Amino acid sequence: MNKRGVVIVMAIIFTLFATAIWADESKDHVCFRSLDADKDGLVTFEEFAEHYGADEARFKAADADRDGRLTHDEYHHLLGHGA
């Protein structure tokens, strides 16, 4: 393989790793995904209770739009991580 081919392959590899490292947090955040058992992008009270216990007051305080489910941003605001 010539030098140009090596550079191209290295650029592709770098791009793949950079994409993984700088992925959009709302789509790929481990602690949120671990709660979202059905992988629908939202955390229900039942899913929340599996990890945090039946603390309905805490869940409701985090549920800013009052739809009964936590979005990624609502969940991280609850934890103090920001969005």
pLDDT 10s digits, 13-63: 766 665 555 555 444 577 888 899 999 999 999 999 999 999 999 999 999
Provide the domain count of the chain: 1
Q: Which domain holds residue 55?
A: 24-83
Interatomic CA distance for residues 11 and 80, integer angstroms: 37
CATH code, domain with 66: 1.10.238.10
Residue 2 belongs to some domain of the structure: no
The predicted structure's pLDDT at residue 26: 47
Least confident of 15-19, 72-76, 77-81: 15-19
Residue 81 has pLDDT above 80, yes or no: no
- Beta bridge partners, 70, equal 43
Residue entry with tokens 């010539």: 2
CA angle 52, 57, 58 (to 5 degrees): 45
